[in-house]
């Protein structure tokens, strides 16, 4: 049932990357439980604007859980308390009247803060840039059906490919590790025959880039898998490990 | 001025081959000397930037988001069409061409659409080679599904995330070129103006959304792939940042805007629940295969759906269209839902919703079968609405979803401004007055992977362009204009938020220029838009400064453009005295209330030229010549 | 040999070293436990096992050096990983909540590891680096466990070790990339069984000995 609730927000405010930030408290009143979390922030921002204050900066775009732009840590949970849900798809009906909600940005050395809840996730692009692709030029591809791929393998690849690059795995990892993100891409491409020729190079290059960008090390805490809005499995991390060891110790790639 | 679409001569099936041969080539060694600016990183932009870079051009690629992987193409669910005929069910390039032309209500160019159907097969080949995990049969070959009323099964898909997978494929190719140094990425940049020198597009001016700095970039050609303007309706299924600014800036610099009144309203979206709703979510059209659409017979009936007896339900689509029933095309379904709600028969608190009921299907096939077919959609619906569609009927309502209109381009995808190419949803070219499902992805990738790499070479090799740097006065002028406009926005200091004004603009358009339009309403809308625009510049409130990350300022700039563009949309709708596809003028309908085209007087592209802020735009017509198909009237009775 | 240092120097490589050395310790624990269980065969049986073990001479030394090498690797790499992981998040969250992935074992690895290091040093000083000329190992044990403090220390350490391996064992397999929908549930189960076995197997020995006195 739709109802209206009042909540208190404690939001991390930080004017820029090198400025000291801190929590500010806001009251959101008369919030319909049908609203999404971001719509609730919209309401708060409208009020802040009307009051002549600086609205809360936060990233968002598609608002249907696929672009990966949104994300914040809500009461200690990446994208909030619901499983398999991005922040934009989280609805206020999961909160109660009188709740206090603490909103923090993704925290990781590799994701410096731009402003308030907005972080710079270009490190993810850097990881993909290191090798998250198949080197094929437009125009030279053989017929799409020339290589059959077992349905189960295609499905596993799709499971990994569902990653939206939001960064929740890094935010949720106690070590701020990017292994789930990296593992998902390495897995997707290592599973498919088209990706196999470059698998060794890719595994080495992407892992090295990930390390260079100061992400933490995976200690198999499984928080990433639990918080991933697309519920990507840590099996992909195991596959990354396998691919990396193969590449490092037995492949001919230097 | 005569609009020349530069359609090659010869038989339809040979035009593209012939044209490719006739286009001048750029020597491989010379390609690296050319700079190309690509704005946007969606399916069209991402694929264009990657393919051009692969050829050896030096590309600067801009996007509004923090990463090129987030463009709104990512949200496309259903699939991508191709004429592979893997199912042996009678598909062919010709059939895909014909379906697309007919689906577009005969308002697209034959030659463009035929080329689209031709290269559709190459797209699938390339995407598989990129490692896109399309759905497969048990035998390991690619699977297809039917879509959007086509009689053949030609849609390739990757679960409900086809757009995402295709976009990430283009993104990966793009990243490979960034790594190779052929592409430089400029994320979090918004294009605020285009620089035209001697009639040639030579660069752009962008705002760095993090620092607020205004940057100038010069190039030999500019490619706009900046998507559609459905957000002019405020509520739409588009992403929050989707906007008209880039194409509208180009329009103001002389590029013609074509068919802005062709807007697609998708019938099955989750309805609006309140004032602060920020966007609408699409539910796949496939739901209408088993769901029955109905409203209570008595206006204002507020009983819960399960308490309304069968005899008091109005299954209006089934009654009105006995042969197609709930499966009438998008525009027909949408218009009828609106008509029912206008009669006060809408459901929910807002009165702007109709039921989509699965009770009969569940009774007939069992819950398991329905769950197998629509399980993920039902789950998504329940997540958003907290109502269980197995128990209660879904509520749905049409929403603005896609726009067929866009900047005018010729067969080479170049606008009337030399060197300004426009691709994907941002151009007007391939979908006529209505787009079929699973065709948007096809068009974006066709343009980027397989058309622009050829046609841009023809342009670059065939024109003289003086050496130009960003020191040219035209860049200074554009920078000045942009800075001045930003300053103006920040100094309004009014009392209404930008979102509030945008919301009102959306209401005006939805009411008077939405699913069905009439002359009186359009005239009224135009006046209301002018008044609202005036209010915006007097009473909007844009906080913050121009020298840092300021999302309010970003939005204000976009809404300011929407306020101007909306008027153009209304003018175009007023001028088109017929009904076709996404444009329905109530004065032009058959006795059965279906769209009635006027092929004699309106079989043309309406391209608008900007004449000044205080003057009406000037209309140019490009006649559409159909040599290969016969124009027919649609009927779904 | 660049390729080797590059491989084991990477984050995954370091984890790999933790996994291999950790699995080595799990093997060692199994053998150690098997030996210790001879205590239930009585004083003489236990002492004869010890004598038999010591009669292996250089092999024991070799094994000890191997363990020392593994320990050094495990400790140094672990410390480095801990330091890097700490640095990867310079500003911590003000609210921390688990999403369901973390366990007691996984969340405390560096700390349980550190306690175990202290315990191993204590354990070696207590029972290894002592003058055994006029006494049997069993007598050493008896005199140690006559003191309740010793019983507490040993039991506590064993519980800590059980917690450490409850995460460590399956985690090592995961790091080695041994993951399969058919076998992974078994490996997870094995970790729990193993840690309980370690806990109970080692944990009761001090109590048992103290009861014998």
Domain ranges in chain B? 265-400, 473-623
Residue A159 contacts C where some CB pair is shorter than 8 Å:
no
Based on the number of CB atoms within 10 Å of its own CB, is B77 exposed (0-12), middle (13-18) or buried (19 or more)? buried
Low-confidence ranges of chain B (pLDDT < 70): 148-149, 635-637
d(CA B126, nearest CA chain A) in Å: 5
Smallest Cβ–Cβ distance between B137 and the set A36, A124, A151 belongs to: A151
3-state DSSP helix/strand/coil % of chain C, to nearest 5? 80, 0, 20
Instruction: Give the pLDDT band of residue C135 (cuts 50, 70, 90).
Output: confident
Query: CB–CB of A223 and C99 under 8 A?
Result: yes
Q: Do C89 and A219 touch (CB under 8 A)?
A: no
Cross-chain residue pair A224–C101, CB shorter than 8 Å: yes
Contact call for C14 and A222, based on CB within 8 A: no
Interface contact C174-A241, CB threshold 8 A? yes
Q: Which of A217, A223, A231 to mutate to test the interface with C (most CBs of C within 10 A)?
A: A217
- From chain A, pick out residues whose CB is under 8 angstroms from the CB of C165: none
Interface of A with B in 192-211 (CB under 8 A): 192, 194-195
Q: Do A207 and C10 touch (CB under 8 A)?
A: yes
Nearest-Cα residue of chain C relative to residue A168: C99
Cα of B490 to nearest chain A Cα, Å: 13
**Chains with 3 or more CB pairs under 8 A to chain B:** A
- Residues in chain A with CB shorter than 8 Å from the CB of B278 are 36, 38-39, 42, 63
Optimal mutation site among A108, A174, A179, interface C, most CBs of chain C within 10 A: A174
CA C160 to each of CA B354, C149, C172, C198, C202: distance values in angstroms, whole numbers, following the listed order: 62, 16, 18, 10, 12
A116 touches chain C (CB under 8 A): no
pLDDT value of residue C122: 96
Tell me if chain A has a CB within 8 Å of the CB of B114: no
Q: Does B133 touch chain A (CB under 8 A)?
A: yes
Do residues A50 and A70 touch, judged by C-beta distance below 8 A? no
Residue A42 is predicted with a pLDDT of 96
What chain C holds in terms of domains, given with CATH numbers, is: 2-88+103-212 (1.20.1300.10)
Residue B107: which of B580, B444, B579 has the closest Cα?
Answer: B580
How far apart CA B97 and CA B446 sit, in angstroms, is 14
CA-based torsion, A178, A184, A189, A193: positive or negative: positive
Give the architecture (CATH level 2) of B473-623.
Up-down Bundle (1.20)
Q: Do B543 and A49 touch (CB under 8 A)?
A: yes
Shortest Cα distance, chain A CAs vs residue C90, angstroms? 6
Q: Give percent above pLDDT 90 in chain C.
A: 89
In chain A, residues with a C-beta closer than 8 Å to the C-beta of B234 are none
Q: Which helix (H) or strand (E) holds B561?
A: helix B551-575
Q: What is the pLDDT of residue B324?
A: 80
Around Cβ C126, how many Cβ atoms within 10 Å?
A: 16
Do A16 and A107 meet the contact criterion of CB atoms below 8 Å apart?
Answer: no
Q: Is A208 on the interface with C (CB under 8 A)?
A: yes
Q: Is A93 on the interface with B (CB under 8 A)?
A: yes
Q: What are phi and psi of B261, to 5 degrees?
A: -80, -5
* Euclidean distance between CA atoms B260 and B266, whole angstroms: 17
CA B348 to chain centre: 29
Asked if the B265-400 domain carries CATH number 3.90.700.10, the reply is yes
- How far apart (Å, rounded) are the C-alpha atoms in residues B617 and B609? 5
Domain residue spans in chain A?
4-104, 121-250
Quote the minimal CA–CA distance from C201 to chain A in Å.
27
The rounded distance, in Å, linking the Cα atoms of C130 and C135 is 10
Residue with structure tokens 């929740």?
Answer: A168
pLDDT, one tens digit for every residue, chain A (254 residues): 678 999 999 999 999 999 999 999 999 999 999 999 999 999 999 999 999 999 999 999 999 999 999 999 999 999 999 999 999 999 999 999 999 999 999 999 999 999 999 999 999 999 999 999 999 999 999 999 999 999 999 999 999 999 999 999 999 999 999 999 999 999 999 999 999 999 999 999 999 999 999 999 999 999 999 999 999 999 999 999 999 999 999 999 87
d(CA B197, CA B466): 10
A7: contact with C, CB 8 A cutoff: no
Mutate to test the interface with A, among C11, C19, C182 (most CBs of A within 10 A): C11
Say if the Cβ atoms of B383 and A54 lie within 8 Å: no
Coil vs helix vs strand at B171: helix
pLDDT at B71: 98
Inter-chain contacts counted by CB atoms under 8 A, chains A and C: 148
CA separation for the pair B5, B23 (Å, rounded): 15
Is B330 a known active-site residue? yes
Instruction: Give the pTM.
Output: 0.96
pLDDT for res B332: 82
The complex scores an ipTM of 0.98
Nearby residues of B391 by Cβ (< 8 Å), 6 or more positions away: none
Q: Which of A157, A151, A169, A154 is nearest to A231 (CA)?
A: A169
Chain B residues inside the 8 Å CB shell of A128: 69, 171-172, 175
HEC string of B75-103 equals HCCCCEECCCCCCCCCCCHHHHHHHHHHH
> What pLDDT does residue B337 have?
93
Question: Least CB-CB distance to A172: which of C99, C170, C179?
Answer: C99
Among residues B109, B115, B330, B576, the one annotated as catalytic is B330
Query: Which residues in chain A are contacts of C90 at CB distance < 8 A?
Result: 109
Q: C–B contact (≥3 CB pairs within 8 Å)?
A: no
Mutate to test the interface with C, among A74, A190, A221, A250 (most CBs of C within 10 A): A221
Say yes or no: A105 contacts chain B, CB-CB below 8 A. Answer: no
- In chain A, which residues have their Cβ closer than 8 Å to the Cβ of C99? 77-78, 172, 223, 226-227
Enumerate the residues of chain C whose CB falls inside 8 A of the CB of residue A242. 176-177, 179
State the smallest CA–CA distance between residue B612 and chain A in angstroms.
33
Closest-CA residue in chain C for A80?
A: C99
CB contact under 8 A, A67 and B171: no
At B148 the pLDDT is: 63
Judge whether residue C131 has pLDDT over 90.
no
Chain A residue closest to B158 (CA)? A158
Q: A121-250: which CATH topology?
A: Fumarate Reductase Iron-sulfur Protein; Chain B, domain 2 (1.10.1060)
- Chain B, 144 to 183: residues with Cβ < 8 Å from chain A are 158-159, 161, 163-165, 168, 171-173, 175-176, 178-179
What's the gap in Å between the CA of C11 and the closest CA on chain A?
6
Q: Is there a contact between C171 and A219 if contact means CB atoms under 8 Å apart? A: yes
Contact (CB<8Å) C176/A245: yes
* DSSP class of B106: T
Distance CA B474, CA B476 (A): 5
Question: Would you say B77 and B284 are in contact if contact means Cβ atoms under 8 Å apart?
Answer: yes
Based on the number of CB atoms within 10 Å of its own CB, is A201 exposed (0-12), middle (13-18) or buried (19 or more)?
middle
For chain B positions 401-430, those within 8 Å of chain A (CB to CB) are: none
Residue showing tokens 């850097």: A126
Phi-psi region for residue C30, left (φ > 0), alpha (ψ -120 to 50) or beta?
alpha
Gyration radius (Cα) of chain C, Å = 19
C contacts of A9 (beta carbons < 8 Å): none
State whether C107 and A174 contact (CB < 8 Å). yes
B275 at A interface, C-beta within 8 A: no
CA pair distance B54, B130, nearest whole angstrom = 14
Contacts of B377 (CB under 8 A, 6+ apart): B160, B283, B284, B286, B287
H/E element holding B345? Answer: none
Superfamily per CATH, domain A4-104: Beta-grasp domain (3.10.20.30)
């Amino acid at each position: 049932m739709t109802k209206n609730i009042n909540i208190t927000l404690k939001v991390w405010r930080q004017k820029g990357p090198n400025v000291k930030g801190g929590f500010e408290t806001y009251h959101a009143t008369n919030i319909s439980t049908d609203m999404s979390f971001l719509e609730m922030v919209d309401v708060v921002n409208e009020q802040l604007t009307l009051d002549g204050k600086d609205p809360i900066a936060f990233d968002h775009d598609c608002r249907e859980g696929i672009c990966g732009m949104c994300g914040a840590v809500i009461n200690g949970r990446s994208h909030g308390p619901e499983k398999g849900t991005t922040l934009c798809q989280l609805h206020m009906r999961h909160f109660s009247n009188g709740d206090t909600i603490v909103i923090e940005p993704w925290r990781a050395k590799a994701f410096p803060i731009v402003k308030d809840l907005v972080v710079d996730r270009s490190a993810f692009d850097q990881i993909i840039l290191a090798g998250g692709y198949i080197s094929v030029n437009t125009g030279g591809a053989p017929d799409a059906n020339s290589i059959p791929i077992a349905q189960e393998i295609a499905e596993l690849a799709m499971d990994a490919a569902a990653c939206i690059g939001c960064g929740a795995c890094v935010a949720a990892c106690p070590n701020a590790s990017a292994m789930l993100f990296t593992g998902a891409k390495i897995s997707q491409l290592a599973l498919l025959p088209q990706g196999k020729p470059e698998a060794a190079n890719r595994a080495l290059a992407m892992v090295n880039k990930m390390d260079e960008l100061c992400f933490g090390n995976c200690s198999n805490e499984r928080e990433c898998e639990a918080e991933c809005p697309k519920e990507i499995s840590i099996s992909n991390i195991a596959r990354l490990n396998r691919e990396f060891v193969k590449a490092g110790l037995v492949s001919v790639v230097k | 001025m005569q609009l020349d679409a530069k359609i090659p001569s010869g038989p339809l099936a040979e035009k593209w081959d012939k044209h490719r041969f006739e286009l001048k080539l750029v020597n491989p060694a010379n390609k690296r000397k050319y700079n190309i600016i690509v704005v946007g990183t969606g399916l069209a932009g991402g694929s264009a930037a990657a393919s051009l870079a692969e050829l050896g051009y030096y590309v600067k690629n801009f996007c509004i988001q923090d990463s090129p992987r987030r463009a709104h193409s990512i949200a496309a669910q259903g699939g991508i069409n191709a004429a592979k005929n893997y199912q042996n069910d009678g598909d062919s390039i010709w059939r895909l061409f014909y379906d697309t032309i007919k689906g577009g209500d005969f308002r697209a160019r034959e030659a463009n659409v035929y080329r689209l159907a031709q290269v559709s097969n190459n797209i699938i080949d390339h995407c598989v080679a990129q490692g896109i995990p399309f759905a497969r049969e048990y035998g390991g070959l690619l699977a297809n599904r039917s879509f959007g009323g086509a009689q053949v099964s030609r849609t390739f898909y990757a679960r409900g995330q086809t757009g995402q997978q295709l976009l990430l494929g283009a993104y990966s190719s793009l990243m490979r070129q960034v790594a190779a140094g052929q592409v430089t990425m400029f994320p979090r940049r918004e294009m605020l103006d285009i620089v035209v020198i001697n009639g040639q597009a030579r660069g752009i001016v962008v705002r760095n959304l993090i620092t607020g700095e205004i940057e100038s970039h010069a190039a030999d050609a500019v490619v706009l792939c900046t998507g559609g303007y459905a957000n002019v309706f405020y509520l739409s299924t588009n992403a929050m940042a989707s906007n008209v600014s880039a194409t509208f800036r180009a329009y103001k610099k002389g590029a013609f805007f074509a068919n802005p009144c062709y807007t697609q309203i998708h019938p099955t979206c989750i309805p609006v629940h309140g004032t602060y709703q920020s966007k609408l979510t699409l539910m796949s059209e496939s739901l209408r295969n088993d769901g029955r659409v109905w409203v209570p017979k008595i206006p204002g009936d507020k009983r819960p759906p399960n308490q309304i007896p069968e005899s008091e339900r109005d299954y209006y689509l089934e009654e009105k269209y006995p042969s197609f029933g709930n499966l009438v095309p998008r525009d027909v379904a949408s218009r009828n839902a609106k008509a029912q709600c206008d009669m006060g028969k809408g459901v929910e608190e807002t009165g702007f919703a109709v039921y989509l009921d699965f009770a009969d299907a569940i009774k007939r096939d069992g819950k398991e079968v329905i769950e197998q077919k629509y399980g993920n959609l039902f789950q998504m619906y329940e997540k958003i609405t907290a109502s269980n569609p197995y128990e209660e009927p879904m509520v749905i309502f049409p929403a603005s979803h896609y726009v067929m209109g866009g900047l005018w381009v010729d067969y080479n995808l170049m606008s009337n401004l030399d060197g300004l190419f426009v691709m994907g949803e941002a151009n007007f070219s391939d979908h006529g007055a209505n787009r079929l499902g699973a065709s948007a992805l096809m068009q974006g990738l066709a343009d980027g992977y397989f058309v622009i790499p050829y046609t841009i070479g023809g342009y670059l090799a065939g024109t003289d362009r003086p050496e130009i740097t960003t020191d040219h006065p035209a860049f200074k002028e554009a920078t000045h204009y942009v800075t001045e406009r930003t300053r103006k926005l920040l100094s309004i200091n009014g009392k209404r938020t930008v979102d509030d004004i945008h919301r009102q603009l959306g209401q005006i358009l939805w009411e008077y220029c939405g699913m069905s339009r009439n002359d009186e309403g359009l005239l009224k809308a135009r006046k209301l838009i002018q008044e609202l625009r005036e209010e915006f510049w007097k009473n909007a409130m844009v906080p913050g400064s121009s020298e840092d990350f300021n999302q309010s300022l970003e939005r204000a700039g976009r809404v300011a453009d929407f306020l101007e563009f909306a008027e153009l949309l209304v003018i175009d709708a007023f001028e088109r005295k017929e009904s076709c596809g996404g444009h329905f003028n109530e004065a032009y309908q058959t006795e059965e209330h279906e769209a009635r085209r006027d092929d004699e007087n309106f079989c043309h592209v309406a391209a608008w030229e900007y004449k000044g802020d205080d003057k009406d735009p000037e209309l140019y017509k490009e006649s559409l010549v159909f040599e290969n198909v016969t124009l027919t009237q649609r009927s779904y009775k | 040999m660049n390729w080797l240092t590059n491989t084991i120097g990477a984050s995954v490589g370091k984890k790999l070293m933790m996994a291999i050395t950790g699995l080595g310790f799990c093997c060692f624990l199994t053998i150690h436990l098997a030996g210790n269980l001879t205590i239930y065969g009585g004083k003489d049986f236990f002492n004869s096992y010890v004598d038999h073990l010591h009669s292996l001479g250089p092999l024991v030394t070799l094994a000890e050096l191997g363990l020392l090498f593994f320990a050094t690797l495990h400790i140094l790499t672990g410390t480095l990983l801990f330091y890097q992981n700490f640095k990867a998040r310079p500003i911590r969250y003000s609210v921390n909540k688990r999403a369901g992935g973390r366990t007691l074992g996984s969340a405390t690895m560096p700390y349980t590891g550190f306690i175990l290091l202290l315990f191993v040093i204590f354990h070696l000083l207590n029972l290894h680096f002592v003058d055994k000329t006029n006494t049997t190992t069993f007598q050493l044990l008896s005199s140690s466990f006559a003191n309740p403090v010793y019983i507490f220390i040993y039991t506590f350490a064993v519980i800590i070790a059980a917690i450490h391996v409850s995460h460590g064992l399956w985690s090592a397999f995961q790091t080695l990339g041994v993951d399969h929908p058919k076998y992974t549930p078994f490996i997870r189960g094995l970790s729990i069984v193993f840690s309980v076995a370690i806990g109970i197997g080692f944990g009761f020995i001090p109590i048992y000995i103290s009861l014998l006195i």
